[in-house]
Chains A and B, each alone.
Chain A
């Protein structure tokens, strides 16, 4: 299968899924590039044991979580660098900004807060929430993507929901 065909079919899916993780256009575009690069490299090794879309979902989720991890490490490192101020500030970490093109202006503030709460969850809980609440996937589909049983996925989603509500309450409590 040609990469261009795959791109035409799945680029929107990859980009939007990455956006839900990073909520930033530049980062989501970078992840999309990484995903298609990974697909290009390992397309010959794909054994068709799962659906192509499930495989692409998995790659996108892994790349997004890796990206977030690398960003967090960079942030920690830039804190160390800031202890020893240099003349040029090129290596310093830029502040993360909420720049989600799928969010309309009226809902921007509410969704920014909501994503802030969701970003406090673990990678797996965040993944399950994104796939269920935003991508509208069924429990069986999510279970296939994250390679867990439907029952385990269900309880994971339940825990994620409770944790999200707790985070919202905490933030709302701090703000009021």
Chain B
């Protein structure tokens, strides 16, 4: 029984190995004759749209800077409005506490 099982496994592996040997039958394929012209056309087409990664990074950094500056300004102006009201409210609370 055990011997039969080992034999079957070995046969299966041998078949698989034989199948894997089929890689040797792959031949080299040829590209179409006018293929370089297609590549040149694509290069021409993408020349205008292509942005080098360093410019993309610079644009992203610039955008983040502008955004954070805006947020900072927004928070600052909000605080400017809030501050006097808060002080006033606190004053009222204090006055009410001591002079009910």
| Interchain nearest-CB distance for A86 vs B (Å) | 29
Residue interface mask B31-50, A partner, CB < 8 A = 1: 11001101100110010001
- Decide if A172 is an interface residue (CB 8 Å cutoff): yes
A92 to chain B, nearest CB (A): 26
A12 to B36, CA, bound (A): 12
- A165 touching B31 by the CB < 8 A rule? no
Q: Check B60 for interface membership: any CB of A closer than 8 A.
A: no
Chain A: residues with Cβ within 8 Å of the partner, total of 34
B57 within 8 A of A: no
**Cβ-defined contact, A36 with B39, below 8 A:** yes
Q: Please state if B16 and A165 are interface contacts (CB–CB under 8 Å).
A: yes
Interface residues of A in 95-130 (CB under 8 A from B): 100-104, 107, 110-111, 113-114
Q: Is the CB of B31 within 8 A of A32?
A: yes
- For the residues of A in contact with B, the DSSP-based class is helix
The smallest C-beta distance from B93 to any residue of chain A, in angstroms, reads 57
Contact of B25 among A40, A111, A113 (CB under 8 A): A111
- Asked whether B19 lies within 8 Å of A16 as measured between CB atoms, the reply is no
Contacts of A172 in B (CB 8 A): 12, 15-16, 19
On B, residues with C-beta under 8 Å from A are 12-13, 15-17, 19-20, 22-23, 25-32, 35-36, 38-39, 42-43, 46, 50
5 closest A-B pairs by beta carbon, nearest first, are A101-B29, A168-B16, A165-B16, A133-B23, A102-B29
